[in-house]
Protein backbone atom coordinates (compact mmCIF):
# COMPACT_ATOMS: atom_id res chain seq x y z
CA UNK A 1 0.00 0.00 0.00
CA UNK A 2 1.11 3.55 -0.73
CA UNK A 3 1.93 5.75 2.24
CA UNK A 4 0.61 9.31 2.35
CA UNK A 5 1.44 12.10 4.78
CA UNK A 6 -1.30 13.34 7.07
CA UNK A 7 -1.27 17.11 7.53
CA UNK A 8 -3.07 19.52 9.82
CA UNK A 9 -4.77 22.73 8.72
CA UNK A 10 -1.45 24.58 9.03
CA UNK A 11 -0.01 22.24 6.38
CA UNK A 12 2.27 20.59 8.95
CA UNK A 13 2.90 16.85 8.88
CA UNK A 14 1.35 15.12 11.88
CA UNK A 15 1.52 11.49 10.76
CA UNK A 16 1.25 9.00 7.94
CA UNK A 17 -1.50 6.79 6.59
CA UNK A 18 -1.60 3.84 4.20
CA UNK A 19 -3.85 4.24 1.18
CA UNK A 20 -5.69 1.28 -0.28
CA UNK A 21 -4.09 0.40 -3.63
CA UNK A 22 -7.42 -0.77 -5.01
CA UNK A 23 -8.71 2.79 -4.59
CA UNK A 24 -5.69 5.04 -5.10
CA UNK A 25 -3.40 3.02 -7.35
CA UNK A 26 -5.67 1.95 -10.19
CA UNK A 27 -4.55 1.92 -13.82
CA UNK A 28 -6.11 4.93 -15.51
CA UNK A 29 -8.23 4.59 -18.63
CA UNK A 30 -9.03 8.04 -20.02
CA UNK A 31 -11.80 6.62 -22.20
CA UNK A 32 -13.79 5.44 -19.19
CA UNK A 33 -13.25 8.76 -17.42
CA UNK A 34 -14.46 10.61 -20.50
CA UNK A 35 -17.61 8.50 -20.79
CA UNK A 36 -18.54 8.99 -17.13
CA UNK A 37 -17.94 12.75 -17.27
CA UNK A 38 -20.11 12.99 -20.38
CA UNK A 39 -22.86 11.06 -18.56
CA UNK A 40 -22.66 13.35 -15.53
CA UNK A 41 -22.82 16.50 -17.62
CA UNK A 42 -25.74 15.15 -19.64
CA UNK A 43 -27.59 14.26 -16.43
CA UNK A 44 -27.11 17.82 -15.16
CA UNK A 45 -28.71 19.39 -18.25
CA UNK A 46 -32.07 20.92 -17.50
CA UNK A 47 -33.48 20.21 -20.97
CA UNK A 48 -36.14 22.92 -20.63
CA UNK A 49 -35.61 24.71 -23.97
CA UNK A 50 -39.04 25.19 -25.53
CA UNK A 51 -40.51 26.90 -28.59
CA UNK A 52 -44.17 27.52 -29.39
CA UNK A 53 -45.83 25.79 -32.30
CA UNK A 54 -48.48 27.47 -34.46
CA UNK A 55 -51.12 26.09 -32.11
CA UNK A 56 -49.53 27.73 -29.06
CA UNK A 57 -48.75 31.30 -30.18
CA UNK A 58 -51.39 33.95 -29.59
CA UNK A 59 -53.70 35.02 -32.36
CA UNK A 60 -54.87 33.11 -35.37
CA UNK A 61 -58.61 33.32 -34.83
CA UNK A 62 -59.83 35.05 -37.97
CA UNK A 63 -58.60 34.62 -41.52
CA UNK A 64 -56.33 37.66 -42.23
CA UNK A 65 -58.07 38.48 -45.52
CA UNK A 66 -60.46 36.84 -47.93
CA UNK A 67 -59.25 33.97 -50.06
CA UNK A 68 -59.51 35.69 -53.47
CA UNK A 69 -59.60 39.11 -54.97
CA UNK A 70 -56.94 40.97 -52.96
CA UNK A 71 -53.94 40.28 -55.18
CA UNK A 72 -52.06 38.83 -52.23
CA UNK A 73 -51.13 35.24 -51.51
CA UNK A 74 -53.83 33.28 -49.74
CA UNK A 75 -53.45 33.02 -45.99
CA UNK A 76 -55.50 31.23 -43.36
CA UNK A 77 -53.89 32.19 -40.04
CA UNK A 78 -51.55 34.73 -38.49
CA UNK A 79 -49.84 31.92 -36.58
CA UNK A 80 -48.40 30.43 -39.78
CA UNK A 81 -44.66 29.66 -39.42
CA UNK A 82 -43.89 31.79 -42.49
CA UNK A 83 -45.28 34.89 -40.77
CA UNK A 84 -43.38 37.06 -38.35
CA UNK A 85 -44.60 36.19 -34.86
CA UNK A 86 -45.91 32.85 -36.05
CA UNK A 87 -45.19 29.42 -34.62
CA UNK A 88 -41.92 27.53 -34.90
CA UNK A 89 -41.68 24.31 -36.89
CA UNK A 90 -39.66 21.46 -35.34
CA UNK A 91 -38.25 23.69 -32.60
CA UNK A 92 -36.78 22.31 -29.36
CA UNK A 93 -39.17 20.92 -26.77
CA UNK A 94 -38.49 19.99 -23.11
CA UNK A 95 -36.63 16.68 -22.95
CA UNK A 96 -34.60 14.51 -20.63
CA UNK A 97 -30.94 14.19 -21.62
CA UNK A 98 -30.00 11.86 -18.78
CA UNK A 99 -28.81 8.31 -19.24
CA UNK A 100 -27.12 5.73 -17.05
CA UNK A 101 -24.02 3.57 -17.04
CA UNK A 102 -23.27 0.33 -15.16
CA UNK A 103 -22.55 0.84 -11.47
CA UNK A 104 -19.26 -1.06 -11.79
CA UNK A 105 -18.05 1.34 -14.48
CA UNK A 106 -18.99 4.40 -12.41
CA UNK A 107 -17.18 3.02 -9.37
CA UNK A 108 -14.12 2.19 -11.46
CA UNK A 109 -14.07 5.73 -12.87
CA UNK A 110 -14.14 7.16 -9.32
CA UNK A 111 -11.17 5.01 -8.36
CA UNK A 112 -9.34 6.12 -11.51
CA UNK A 113 -9.99 9.79 -10.81
CA UNK A 114 -8.68 9.53 -7.24
CA UNK A 115 -5.71 7.47 -8.42
CA UNK A 116 -4.88 10.14 -10.99
CA UNK A 117 -4.74 12.85 -8.32
CA UNK A 118 -2.61 10.63 -6.07
CA UNK A 119 -0.18 9.71 -8.83
CA UNK A 120 0.17 13.38 -9.78
CA UNK A 121 0.99 14.28 -6.17
CA UNK A 122 -2.15 16.39 -5.94
CA UNK A 123 -3.83 14.35 -3.19
CA UNK A 124 -3.71 15.73 0.37
CA UNK A 125 -5.01 14.05 3.54
CA UNK A 126 -5.74 16.25 6.56
CA UNK A 127 -6.36 14.93 10.08
CA UNK A 128 -9.36 17.20 10.61
CA UNK A 129 -10.93 20.28 9.07
CA UNK A 130 -13.41 22.06 11.30
CA UNK A 131 -14.37 25.71 11.33
CA UNK A 132 -15.75 27.19 14.58
CA UNK A 133 -18.10 29.43 12.63
CA UNK A 134 -19.21 30.26 9.10
CA UNK A 135 -16.45 32.58 7.97
CA UNK A 136 -15.00 32.76 4.47
CA UNK A 137 -11.86 34.53 5.70
CA UNK A 138 -10.95 31.57 7.93
CA UNK A 139 -11.44 29.10 5.08
CA UNK A 140 -9.31 31.17 2.70
CA UNK A 141 -6.59 31.44 5.34
CA UNK A 142 -6.38 27.66 5.68
CA UNK A 143 -6.18 27.22 1.90
CA UNK A 144 -3.35 29.75 1.79
CA UNK A 145 -1.42 27.55 4.23
CA UNK A 146 -1.48 24.83 1.58
CA UNK A 147 -0.90 27.37 -1.24
CA UNK A 148 -3.98 26.05 -3.03
CA UNK A 149 -5.99 28.17 -5.45
CA UNK A 150 -8.17 25.31 -6.69
CA UNK A 151 -9.27 22.33 -4.60
CA UNK A 152 -12.06 19.84 -3.96
CA UNK A 153 -12.47 19.01 -0.27
CA UNK A 154 -14.16 15.75 0.74
CA UNK A 155 -15.56 15.48 4.28
CA UNK A 156 -16.94 12.43 6.04
CA UNK A 157 -20.37 13.97 6.60
CA UNK A 158 -22.20 17.10 5.52
CA UNK A 159 -20.41 20.11 7.03
CA UNK A 160 -22.61 23.18 6.63
CA UNK A 161 -20.09 25.56 8.22
CA UNK A 162 -17.36 24.61 5.80
CA UNK A 163 -19.68 24.44 2.79
CA UNK A 164 -21.10 27.90 3.46
CA UNK A 165 -17.66 29.35 4.18
CA UNK A 166 -16.32 28.05 0.85
CA UNK A 167 -19.45 28.81 -1.17
CA UNK A 168 -18.29 32.17 -2.54
CA UNK A 169 -14.62 31.26 -2.99
CA UNK A 170 -13.90 30.67 -6.68
CA UNK A 171 -12.12 27.40 -7.43
CA UNK A 172 -13.10 25.57 -4.24
CA UNK A 173 -15.86 23.11 -3.46
CA UNK A 174 -16.77 21.06 -0.38
CA UNK A 175 -18.60 17.73 -0.73
CA UNK A 176 -19.45 14.88 1.64
CA UNK A 177 -18.44 11.34 0.67
CA UNK A 178 -21.98 10.75 -0.61
CA UNK A 179 -21.46 13.52 -3.19
CA UNK A 180 -18.04 12.35 -4.38
CA UNK A 181 -18.05 12.20 -8.18
CA UNK A 182 -15.67 11.95 -11.13
CA UNK A 183 -16.50 15.29 -12.74
CA UNK A 184 -15.75 17.39 -9.66
CA UNK A 185 -12.52 15.49 -8.94
CA UNK A 186 -11.22 16.12 -12.47
CA UNK A 187 -12.52 19.68 -12.49
CA UNK A 188 -10.31 20.64 -9.52
CA UNK A 189 -6.54 20.38 -9.71
CA UNK A 190 -6.19 19.36 -6.03
CA UNK A 191 -8.07 16.78 -3.98
CA UNK A 192 -8.16 17.12 -0.18
CA UNK A 193 -9.54 14.29 1.92
CA UNK A 194 -10.42 14.69 5.58
CA UNK A 195 -9.06 11.58 7.29
CA UNK A 196 -12.50 10.59 8.59
CA UNK A 197 -13.74 10.31 4.98
CA UNK A 198 -11.29 7.57 3.95
CA UNK A 199 -13.16 4.77 5.71
CA UNK A 200 -16.45 5.90 4.20
CA UNK A 201 -14.94 6.12 0.71
CA UNK A 202 -13.63 2.58 1.09
CA UNK A 203 -17.02 1.42 2.36
CA UNK A 204 -18.78 3.05 -0.60
CA UNK A 205 -16.47 1.82 -3.37
CA UNK A 206 -15.49 -1.59 -2.03
CA UNK A 207 -19.02 -2.78 -1.21
Instruction: Give per-residue pLDDT as tens, 154-199.
Output: 998 888 999 999 999 999 999 999 999 999 999 999 999 999 999 9
Mean pLDDT of 8-13: 90
pLDDT of res. 4: 87
Q: Is the pLDDT of residue 1 over 90?
A: no
Give the model confidence (pLDDT) of 128-148 as tens digits: 888 889 999 999 999 999 999
3-state helix, strand and coil shares in percent for the chain, rounded to the nearest 5: 35, 15, 50
Query: End-to-end alpha-carbon separation of the chain, Å?
Result: 19
SS3 state at 162 = helix
- Average pLDDT for the chain: 93
Local confidence band at 60 (pLDDT 50, 70, 90 cut-offs)? confident
Domains of the chain, first to last: 2-46+98-206 (3.40.1370.10), 51-91 (no CATH)
Q: Is the pLDDT of residue 28 over 90?
A: yes
Taking the C-alpha atoms of residue 111 and residue 94, their distance in angstroms, rounded to an integer, is 34
C-alpha angle 125/105/120, rounded to 5°?
A: 35
pTM to 2 decimal places: 0.83
Q: Is the pLDDT of residue 207 over 70?
A: no
Amino acid sequence: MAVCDVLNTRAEKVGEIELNDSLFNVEINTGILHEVVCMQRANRRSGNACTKTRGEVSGGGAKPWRQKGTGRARSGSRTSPVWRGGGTVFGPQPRDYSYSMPKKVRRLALKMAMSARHQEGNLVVVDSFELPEIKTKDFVGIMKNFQFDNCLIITGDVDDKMSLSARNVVGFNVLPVAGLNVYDILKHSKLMLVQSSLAKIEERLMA
